[in-house]
Structure 1
Amino acid sequence: MQACSLLTSAMFTGLAMAQEAPPVQEKGPAPADAMLHAQAVHYPNPYRVMESGEVKAVLDRVLSYLDAVTPAELINKNTHAVMAMPAKADPEAVLKPGDFRLTSYEWGVTYAGMLAAGAATGDHRYTDYTVKRHQLLSDLARVYAPAVQADKQNAQAPIKGLLNPHALDDAGALCMSFLQAKNAGIKVDYGQLVGICGAFVTEKEYRLKDGTLARGGPDAEGRIRQRPLADTLWLDDMFMGIPTIALMGKATGNSKYYDDAARQVLQFSRRMFNPQLGIYMHGYVEGMRDHPEMHWARANGWALMAMVELLEVLPKNHKDYKAVEAQLRAHANGLAKFQDKDGLWHQLIDRPDSYLETSASAIYTYAIARAVNRGYLDKEMFGPMANLAWNAVAAKVNAKGEVEGVCVGTGMAFDPAFYYYRPVSTRAAHGYGPVLLAGAEIIAMNRKYKFGLNDSGLMYQGPR
């Protein structure tokens, strides 16, 4: 056994040496082309691994910006005076407005990103950001949930959409962040929040006959919502539903949630994954014969992230574990074919004349780096790809801490113009959580594995 290990080590060493450019053996004056391969290359983004401190500096800018523009306070909606938490439901109380909403699905991702950044850097300010706002939401749920449940139509509450969800967007990503925080030992009472949001995702959201999460059907209160057509699948909903369903399995010990979460991956993929391209279409309408394929980047990110989050808690002996892992690998390999030369991906992945989009690229960076760290993907291939992507994403965080190049909120369509001309904005909340998650996971990956230049190329160089 020891001899085998030594042989393997020797082979690895020999391979590493073989990758180096051999020394020139000829004697005499050097020809003009002798050192052309060693010329300095002017990459638009750094072609190297960022040190942990450099990554944290990017994340720190994001944290400073978001902490300043997302106040965790109540105010009187008429006088705008700051209010303490009321003892009973007060219709005059509202959340103090900032640049972003504290109860959007994008902010569920941001809360998760802050927790990940805190764990990766050891800087409690990131964790505190999430704890402070989760505590506010928990306190508001305690005060306002009884009134909202008693009169869903007329009750007023600062977080009514969270306490009376009507779509996966209202509940899924936020519930994921609550359950992740609870698993991390955060001492906030998540009982009411998880009870309301978890029940909506797992029991009340509309589904197709085979149980696949869908839109364009009756909601929890029987109202028909065409979004945009009856029985429509949005690829986004893999993320809006699957992580919460899987985490409910971990929280309750009930295997039915694991079964449901894995089934969602496989049923979405059966309908929407293009195995030739290795990427997903954005929208699918049950019953249609033809499905125009718009391969929207951010939705593909949500799908990839959903699989990574599911595998984080799905028992390895689950009957569908290997199938989910295989689907993750197929998707990651497909995405690898479309990465732009400077590290990002395009708004429509397979259409290089569409613009480069930051939020999707950040999600891919996070999910691919996490998959490398967990052993789902080969570190030799995907580690350099993730580092290249992170360097490009980091360049999109400006000095103020805003994330540039992020597509605004987007529905689904069956024509390219819709996606090509979606605006980008630093106020598009979708970019902030993914950047935090990506930076945190890149720190973890480069702490675990060494990557560096070998014969001018960025390569895996062994474990740390």
Structure 2
Amino acid sequence: MKTTMLAASLATLLGCALACGPALAQGGHYRNPDNKNLKDPAEGTYPVPYKMPQVAEVTAQLKSIRAYMDSATPTRIINRKTGDQIFDLKTPNADAIFEPSAGDYGIQVYEMGVVHSGLLKAAEATGDPSFTAMTQRHFQFFSQTLPYFRAQEQKFHLERANSFSRFLDPRSLDDSGSMCAALIRARLKNVGPDLKPMIDACSDWVINKQFRLEDGTMARKRPQEVSLWADDMYMSIPALAEMGRMTGNRKHFDDAVNNVMGMTSRMFNPQLGLYTHGWHANHQDAPRFYWARANGWAVLAMSDLLDVLPKDHPGYPKVLNQLRLSIKGIAELQSGTGLWHQMIDRNDSYLETSASAIFTYVIAHAVNQGWVSPTTYGSIAQAGWAGLTTRITAKGEVEGTCVGTTLAGDMVYYYNRPTSVHALHGYGPMLLAGAEIIRLIKNPAFEVQHKVRTYHYMPKGGKTDYREHH
């Protein structure tokens, strides 16, 4: 029995690890193939494939996710009543809608903005332009159908029932910020048609129309009269940053930095190194809930900002310092599977995929960019990816992702949010994480030493001495 399980585990490890999810679900135990002595009594087994990732293997995993996303996101207009495809784009029809996907993956929702950003990163990391084919298809569809849905709205006044409503009438940061950043990134890389009209609509909301505190911090009027959501760091700051990059207008960088600091001053707990999910102006002493994905959005926003923020901007060292503090707090709470918990500070809450993928990406990216030490954080990112590989199904679905979650006031709600392969929140972060792990593996600035059965990311030329170990 043990021999059979060992052989199966080794076969999985030595092949492409796309089927790791089922193996974990069945209680699989993995040996590290980088330790060549299979009789080594000091080599344990792991609940995830604890090993050095290989570029070909990670690329195959990313391709499987891309293929699934591509197949699951149709770009057609249909009649909502009959299901028939509509080809006439000159005569508005009140029943015309985007064809829904089988998994309800909205093609203009904020989560899809993260998917496109992930696909752009994957294309860059692998050198394979086919990763952006889905982005080109989606954006070409938007270019072709925007006039049609604008005419539909002018004639029938459907408001939110209009499939293009997020860009005809944006009403929130969720409607606008994430897709805005993705649209600008694609435009600057010449991927797909120029969608400046959509960029103008969504950026106008973020810059000019979103409700804010008096100091300019992005806020909401729900669930209380004046609330901050850590999620909104990602829903606003990357869009502001990309507007700064695209236009060269430093006021957008100023706004982005101001929002990092405004959000942080109210929601970051320096003792824990974590962001609480939200803050209420009228109830500032409310209990704090450290939801993992909210922390993910916060660090991803800061990471994206630092990518384009001029290094001579006075806010650069402030944002970098805050990202480092957050990464340290997050890294200390990584579980023994490489993943992080739904309530990041509560290890009796379930292990959640989307936050774990964001953390893995941000930590790996910070290492690659030289923002944090590879010797401290390289193996943490690698371990995160080991855990994430167990969440990719043979079909390219991403398992274990918490569904959409509001800012709540009790633990029972957070603990019991369902997970689903149809939660789009997991797909973009997984693409980002895999792309950055490829960069980490290929990074020429350091070497990875497999010593004492674990991994040490060392700057090139760094001298270590293991003589006492032999």
Give the TM interval when normalised to the shorter protein.
0.7 to 0.9
Q: How many positions carry a matched residue from both structures? A: 420
Q: Could you say which residue in structure 2 is the equivalent of 1:170?
A: 175
Deviation at 1:450, TM superposition (A): 3.1
Partner of 1:49: 52
Going from structure 1 to structure 2, the CA distance change for 1:441 and 1:155 (only over 3 Å counts) comes to: closer
Could you say which residue in structure 1 is the equivalent of 2:226? 231
Q: 1:252 aligns with which of 247, 252, 268?
A: 247
Change (3 A) 1:298 1:453: same
Aligned to 2:455: 458
Contact 1:47 1:458 in 2 (8 A): no
TM-superposed CA distance for 1:122, in Å, is 2.2
Structure 2 residue aligned with 1:428: 423
Paired with 1:249 and 1:85, the residues of 2 have a C-alpha distance of 39
1:214 has 2:209 as partner:
no
Partner Cα distance (1:348, 1:174) in 2: 27
Does the alignment pair 1:193 with 2:188? no
How far residue 204 of structure 1 moved from its aligned partner, in angstroms, is 0.5
Query: Would the aligned equivalents of 2:374 and 2:459 in 1 still touch at CA under 8 Å?
Result: no
Structure 1: runs of 5 or more not aligned: 1-34, 217-226
Secondary structure at the residue paired with 2:442?
helix
CA distance 1:208–1:234, change in 2 (3 Å): same
When structure 1 is superposed on structure 2, of 421-430 and 79-88 the one drifting more is 79-88
Query: Do residues 347 (structure 1) and 342 (structure 2) align?
Result: yes
The alpha-carbon distance between structure 1 residues 153 and 208, as it changes in their structure 2 partners (threshold 3 A), is farther
Report the CA distance between 1:291 and its aligned residue. Answer: 2.6
Q: TM-score, normalised by structure 2?
A: 0.85
Q: CA–CA distance in 2 between the matches of 1:114 and 1:166?
A: 27
Provide, for residues 152-181 of structure 1, a one-character-per-residue CA deviation record: whole Å limited to 9, x for no partner. Answer: 666963312332111111111111110110
Shift of 1:144: 2.9
- SS of 1:459's equivalent? strand
* 1:206 partner amino acid: F
Q: Which runs of 5+ in 2 are unaligned?
A: 1-37, 462-470
Q: Secondary structure at the match of 2:456?
A: strand
Counterpart CA distance in 2 for 1:40 and 1:310 is 41
**2:355 corresponds to which residue?**
360
Deviation at 1:139, TM superposition (A): 2.2
CA contact (8 A) 1:74 1:85 kept: no
Q: For 1:129 and 1:116, how far apart are their aligned partners in 2?
A: 13
1:100-151, Cα deviation, whole Å (9 max, x unpaired)? 1101111111111111112212222210111110111222223333664798
CA–CA distance in structure 2, aligned partners of residues 186 and 142 of structure 1:
21
For residue 422 of structure 1, what is the amino acid of its counterpart?
A: R
How far the C-alpha of 1:85 sits from its partner, in A, is 6.2
User: What SS class does the counterpart of residue 75 from structure 1 fall into?
Assistant: strand
Q: Paired residue for 2:438?
A: 443
From the superposition, tell whether residues 38 and 77 of structure 1 become closer, same or farther in structure 2 (CA, over 3 Å).
Answer: same
Aligned residue type for 1:365: T
Q: Which amino acid aligns with 2:181?
A: M
TM-score (structure 1 length as normaliser) = 0.87
Asked if the contact 2:50–2:383 (Cα under 8 Å) also holds between the matched residues in 1, the reply is: yes
- Conserved? CA contact 1:89–1:157, under 8 Å: no
Residue 400 of structure 1: how far off its partner (Å): 1.4
Distance 1:238 1:124 in 2: 30
Larger Cα-atom Rg: 1
Question: How far apart are residue 46 of structure 1 and its match?
Answer: 1.9
Q: Residue 82 of structure 1 aligns to a residue in which SS? A: coil
User: How far apart are residue 293 of structure 1 and its match?
Assistant: 1.0
2:280 corresponds to: 285
Please, what is the CA RMSD of the aligned residues?
2.0
Cα distance between partner residues in 1 of 2:164 and 2:139 = 12
Q: Distance in 2 between matches of 1:147 and 1:96?
A: 16
- Provide the C-alpha distance between the structure 2 equivalents of 1:456 and 1:330, rounded to a whole number of angstroms: 29
What residue number does 2:70 align with? 67
Deviation at 1:462, TM superposition (A): 4.0
- Answer with 449-458 or 104-113: which moved more: 449-458
1:48-76 residue CA offsets vs partner (Å, 9 max, x unmatched): 22101111121122112111111111222
Which of 256, 275, 291 pairs up with 1:261? 256
Indicate how the Cα distance of structure 1 residues 265 and 155 shifts in structure 2: closer, same or farther if over 3 A, else same: closer
1:95 corresponds, among 98, 105, 108, to: 98
Amino acid corresponding to residue 435 of structure 1 in structure 2: M
**Residue identity opposite 2:119 in structure 1:** M
Comparing 325-334 with 205-214, which one deviates more in the overlay?
A: 205-214
Q: Distance in 1 between matches of 2:374 and 2:160?
A: 52
The aligned counterpart of 1:76 is 79
SS in 2 for 1:200: helix
| Equivalent residue letter for 2:323 | L
- The equivalent of 1:21 in structure 2 is none
Task: List per-residue Cα deviations over 1:256-275 (Å, max 9, x = no partner).
Answer: 10000000001100110000
CA distance in 2: counterparts of 1:243 and 1:145, whole angstroms? 27
Conserved in 1, the CA contact under 8 Å of 2:135 and 2:191? no
Give the counterpart letter for 1:267 in structure 2: G
Residue 10 of structure 1 is matched in structure 2 by: none
Contact 2:353 2:391 in 1 (8 A): yes
CA contact (8 A) 2:159 2:169 kept: no
Counterpart Cα distance in 2 of 1:346 and 1:370:
21
Distance in 2 (CA, whole Å) between partners of 1:236 and 1:458 is 33
In the other structure, the counterpart of 2:15 is none
Find the counterpart in structure 1 of residue 150 from structure 2. Answer: 145
